Structure 1
Amino acid sequence: MFSFEEARQRVLARVEPLPERERLPVKAVLARILAEDVRAPFDIPPLPNSARDGYALRGADLATDRPVRLRVVAEVPAGHYHDAEIKAGEAARIFTGAPLPPGADTVVMQEHVQRDGDLLEVPAGVVRAYDNVRPRGEDVAAGEVVLERGAFIRPQEMGLLASLGLTHVWVTRRPRVAVLSTGNEVVEAGQARGPAQIFDSNRYSLMGLIEMMGAEALDFGIIRDDHDDLRRAFLSASTQAHAILTSGGVSVGAYDLVRDILNEVGVIDFWRVKMRPGGPQAYGRIGPAYFFGLPGNPVSAMVVFLEIVRPALWRLMGRRNWEPTRFRARLLETIRKRPGLMEFQRGVVRYTEQGWEVTTTGPQGSGILRSMVQGNCLIFLAEERGDHERGEEVWVEPFPM
């Protein structure tokens, strides 16, 4: 039996990034992983530009003890460049984002000046030299690595790529993950359900989590507790997917066949982890495909995916800096716990005038899927600890959006 951290590290150590990559349009790379560094081909902004609507002038013309009168000689809207130099005693009407004309190095905001025709009066003290100017290269300098290989592409990365004039980039291959549920007790939504059966929710939750992180989920459906059916499904999945994800069938019951079949057709690594929910697990290989066997209870399956399987898939995708955001929050209730297991309780975390505060969603049974809906985070309770008292600080990890 492994500790939670030991289990995660063992899984990560056995996963190697996929070598394949592909070149895609920037519009199509949301939630993909960059396969190579991206360098800026030019400065952004390429020229000093105005951060305000106002007047571009020479800082040397300003005075600290009296108003300054200047002559307005040009108007520079955004998207236009005025190439005539602004000389001493001159100014140019300018708008936000427009490049500064040669000679100008300062922008005074329009609400701070008085204008009469072509004459502009700038009161003393309303602006200092170089104010309200975005310097060339303020955002990105030419030749700078702006996005590193292994970066996860969010909307903001897409915007940055487009701002560099790029239309296509190299990204890593999207891993295919076969997802299947096991057991006679689960049936497909919309089908007839017996009195001792439940509708399968795990495949839907797990496929959603897989797609959310940028991988491709392959739906292999529900496989009954039949040795030959399970064996065929595992072998078929291993030829179509880079990873296989099952839920159910990994404990020690008479009908829990997953471990036995994995020993027949592949290699099993370990199957017990000191965590709650989600103790029984199976990890290994079937041919070239990685195998992740999750518990059948819906909360257990989601928690194990988030904390162990997702980091492994990130590594398979070549992502760097995949560690999720965690921070400390103050408990608003006492949580009873026995030492010996790492616990992941579902919670609701909020920011108040007193800082971050968290409470549980209520009953924490591993079959209460609604707790994952009502909550917005996992509360981490250390393996060696017992009860956690109201007012203590604990680690929380927000759910992925």
Structure 2
Amino acid sequence: MLAVREALDFLLSAARPVAAVEKIPTLEANGRVLASAVVSGMNVPGHDNTQMDGYAVRAADCASGNATLTVTQRIPAGHVGQPLLPGCAARIFTGALIPEGADAVVMQEQCEANDGLVTIRHAPKTGEWIRRTGEDISVGSVILAAGTRLRSQELGLVASIGMAELDVRRKLRVAVFFTGDELAMPGQPLAPGAIYNSNRFTLRALLENLGCEVRDFGIVPDSLDATRNVLRQASDGNDLIITSGGVSVGEEDHIKPAVEAEGKLNMWQIAVKPGKPLAFGEVGQAFFLGLPGNPVSSFITFLLFVRPFLLRLQGADVPAQARGMMLRADFNWPKADRRNEFLRARLNQQGGLDLFPNQGSAVLTSTVWGDGLVDNPPGNPIAPGDVVRFIPFSELMY
């Protein structure tokens, strides 16, 4: 069995980012990956402007800390004032351009206005409360690199330089199907021994979170012929095939022989708990990832392995390993496992971590109760007070 990091490195080294590029409106680019760097064609701000409501002044006129000046103009945001003469002040509002001749802004709380005059009860420094031209972004600068995955922050930044369209990698096309005669869909009556197909809902939502086009082939019966047939269909026009269930070595587990018959299998088992049976290969022109059928195992192997692989296929420049933090364990985990364990836990009010009491691979409640995963190395018992690596779900979902 491969160690977790070895398996992840193997997956990422095999990933081929999609080459096709689309030009789309910036308003529709949330979650997409930049195909080329974004270079600013302008300064932001474009001109010196005020950070505060107050009075634009000449700092030298206010050196006494108690100067009375004549108010000669009023400058709201979006308007251009007249040159400011010595001994004068301009009433100015946040975002308005600094008039020629002014070199400081005094906020209104330090001023007293009366009948066309204003008393400045402060000695401002030159440049006080002024945003300088290009202070945020300078013309010609690269504001976002190729491979950036666009979030709300990046979209706002792009909009601030007036860019209405962006070149992005095309969306990944991901085929999914779920094996098991025992599977039923919510809304259907459950036959004896049947279970509802929760993995279909979990995996589709995870893929949609990552901006993929999902092509769902539904539930596939437990037979080699049926599995091979759907694999052939799923490989047509898709970048990746993801399955759930059937990756073990039982008589009713057909994924491994089906993939070997229709393509090739490059990796199978990983020293991870939950989620040891994870298959990786290729069918036709599509990559293949087979996840375990147990709901928690499927969920965690997606977060740890499928997500970074998908991001690499999208051309995203992201770290291979999710960011974690070192926190105090407020629980006891005395029995070490030979595999790398990922335990469902959550932050408590004391700044430590509590552990969900049932760490079974079918207990989906643990994934809702928890805030993230404790990354516990092989052979490592945990005692209260030990410091452990914790990966929040917020680092693994999007």
Equivalent position of 1:369 in the other structure: 364
Which amino acid in structure 1 is aligned with residue 23 of structure 2? Answer: R
- Residue 268 of structure 1 is aligned with which of 258, 265, 268? 265
TM-score, with structure 2 as normaliser:
0.96
Which amino acid in structure 1 is aligned with residue 131 of structure 2? Answer: R
Distance 1:66 1:6, change over 3 A: closer
Contact 1:62 1:129 in 2 (8 A): no
Equivalent position of 2:376 in the other structure: 381
Aligned counterparts of 1:176 and 1:31: Cα–Cα separation in 2: 15
Contact 2:110 2:122 in 1 (8 A): no
Between 85-94 and 40-49, report the one with greater CA deviation.
85-94
The Cα shift of 1:22 comes to 0.4
Equivalent position of 2:96 in the other structure: 98
The Cα shift of 1:34 comes to 0.8
After superposition, give the CA deviation of every residue in 1:297-325 in whole Å (9 maximum; x if it has no partner): 00000100000111000000000125533
The Cα shift of 1:339 comes to 4.1
Aligned counterparts of 2:104 and 2:183: Cα–Cα separation in 1: 70
Aligned counterparts of 2:58 and 2:324: Cα–Cα separation in 1: 49
Between 274-283 and 129-138, report the one with greater CA deviation.
129-138
After superposition, give the CA deviation of every residue in 1:144-178 in whole Å (9 maximum; x if it has no partner): 11111111111121222221111111110100111
Aligned counterparts of 1:325 and 1:29: Cα–Cα separation in 2: 25
Aligned counterparts of 1:394 and 1:233: Cα–Cα separation in 2: 43
Q: Helix, strand or coil for the counterpart of 2:271?
A: strand
The Cα shift of 1:99 comes to 1.0
Equivalent position of 1:311 in the other structure: 308
1:117 aligns with 2:115: yes
Equivalent position of 2:62 in the other structure: 62
Q: Helix, strand or coil for the counterpart of 2:15?
A: coil
- Residue 395 of structure 1 is aligned with which of 375, 389, 392? 389
Aligned counterparts of 1:242 and 1:347: Cα–Cα separation in 2: 34
Aligned counterparts of 1:362 and 1:212: Cα–Cα separation in 2: 29
1:218 aligns with 2:202: no
Aligned counterparts of 2:161 and 2:287: Cα–Cα separation in 1: 38
Q: Helix, strand or coil for the counterpart of 1:378?
A: strand
Aligned counterparts of 2:192 and 2:268: Cα–Cα separation in 1: 31
The Cα shift of 1:336 comes to 2.7
Aligned counterparts of 1:227 and 1:303: Cα–Cα separation in 2: 26
Contact 1:329 1:349 in 2 (8 A): no
Q: How does 1:244-323 map to 2 (within 5 A)?
A: 244-322=241-319, 323=321
Contact 2:240 2:288 in 1 (8 A): yes
Which amino acid in structure 1 is aligned with residue 246 of structure 2? Answer: G
The Cα shift of 1:347 comes to 1.1
Q: Helix, strand or coil for the counterpart of 1:87?
A: coil
Equivalent position of 1:237 in the other structure: 234
Equivalent position of 2:25 in the other structure: 25
The Cα shift of 1:215 comes to 1.3
Between 108-117 and 280-289, report the one with greater CA deviation.
108-117
Equivalent position of 2:48 in the other structure: 48
Which amino acid in structure 2 is aligned with residue 97 of structure 1? Answer: G
Aligned counterparts of 1:308 and 1:172: Cα–Cα separation in 2: 21
RMSD between aligned residues: 1.4
Contact 1:55 1:109 in 2 (8 A): yes
Contact 1:26 1:162 in 2 (8 A): yes
Q: How does 1:132-211 map to 2 (within 5 A)?
A: 132-211=129-208
Q: Which runs of 4+ in 1 moved over 4 A?
A: none
Q: Helix, strand or coil for the counterpart of 1:301?
A: helix
After superposition, give the CA deviation of every residue in 1:43-96 in whole Å (9 maximum; x if it has no partner): 011011111100001122231x541121111110011111x2212211100001
Aligned counterparts of 1:325 and 1:93: Cα–Cα separation in 2: 48
Q: Helix, strand or coil for the counterpart of 1:299?
A: helix
Distance 1:101 1:337, change over 3 A: farther
After superposition, give the CA deviation of every residue in 1:88-140 in whole Å (9 maximum; x if it has no partner): 21110000111111111211011111122222211244x33321111111111
Q: Helix, strand or coil for the counterpart of 2:16?
A: coil
Q: How does 1:79-98 map to 2 (within 5 A)?
A: 79-82=78-81, 84-98=82-96
Which amino acid in structure 1 is aligned with residue 157 of structure 2? Answer: L
- Identity rate of aligned residues, in percent? 38
Q: How many residues align?
A: 394
The Cα shift of 1:205 comes to 0.4
Equivalent position of 1:329 in the other structure: 327
Which amino acid in structure 2 is aligned with residue 331 of structure 1? Answer: A
Q: Helix, strand or coil for the counterpart of 1:2?
A: coil
- Residue 357 of structure 1 is aligned with which of 342, 352, 360? 352
Distance 1:297 1:34, change over 3 A: same
